[in-house]
Amino acid sequence: MNLPTPGRLLLAPAAAFAALIGFAAAPAHAAIWSSSDQWGSYTTSDGYTLYNNIWGSGAGAQTIWANSSSNWGVWAAHPNTGGIKSYPNAKKVINKPLDSLSSLRSGYNVSVPSSGAYNTSYDIWDTDYDYEVMLWVNYNGAVGPLGTSQGTATLGGHTWNVYKGNNGGNEVFSFLRTSDSTSGTVDILPILKWIKNTKGWWGNETIGDVQFGYEITSSAGGLDFQTNSFSVSGG
């Protein structure tokens, strides 16, 4: 589960978190934009929004950088403790009812560390933020989905372990790929229609944000996560 939008409370930026736990901020990547602010954001020329999005308690330092919506990354130094610390991501707003969508696809290519605890995932929301659909394409370390197992489903070109839960604020549907992948294409629309038409877990929701990024629990010492390519198409 992630915050759907940057938080509204005035909280310390990532650099302050770093000072508290003894980490120094990472050197900035050669990029057109970077930020170590907790809610740092940037909108690209092609309509994507990047968020640093450090939302969990006990977080360390984190710096997001970007050259474009398809070339961006994060350096994060979150301590080796439980609980999600952040979800740096790139977001594309769809804002269309599910039944009016004729296609919704996405491609990705990432470079992720071999240590730490995290997942690389899509986070898809309806416009009212009543429902959250997470698609985990790879994961590492002590992480797991919210809710209970609903079995497996082959959808959108991949086979997923499916989980359903509630975080107290919204319903969460999690799809975990049965084989990790650092690159590929996901046909998102059949997954969303399966939730509606096959399982009856929601109605004709208006799909809002399609986010893609890294849900990080721990990255002690500082780890790099890089998006080499990413795009969302359809409507």
Cα–Cα distances (Å) from 21 to 25, 95, 177, in that order, read: 11, 40, 34
Distance (Å, rounded) from C-alpha 3 to C-alpha 57?
A: 13
Distance (Å, rounded) from C-alpha 174 to C-alpha 70?
A: 24
Does the pTM surpass 0.85? The reply is: yes
Q: What is the pLDDT of residue 7?
A: 34
Mean pLDDT of 25-40: 80
At 166, list the tokens: 């509630």
Distance (Å, rounded) from C-alpha 217 to C-alpha 39?
A: 17
Mean pLDDT of 34-48: 97
Confidence grade of residue 235 (pLDDT, cut at 50, 70, 90) = confident
* CATH architecture of the region 14-234: Sandwich (2.60)
69 pLDDT higher than 60 = yes
Q: Indicate the SS3 state at residue 217.
A: strand
Distance (Å, rounded) from C-alpha 110 to C-alpha 86?
A: 17
Please give the residue that has the higher pLDDT: either 15 or 214.
214
- Number of Cβ atoms within 10 Å of the Cβ of 110: 20
Per-residue pLDDT reduced to its tens digit, 102-159:
999 999 999 999 999 999 999 999 999 999 999 999 999 999 999 999 999 999 999 9
Q: What are φ and ψ of residue 193, in 5° steps?
A: -70, -35
* 8 A C-beta contact, residue 92 and residue 204: no
Cα dihedral sign, 76-115-92-167: negative
101 pLDDT higher than 90 = yes
Cα dihedral sign, 141-34-68-132: positive
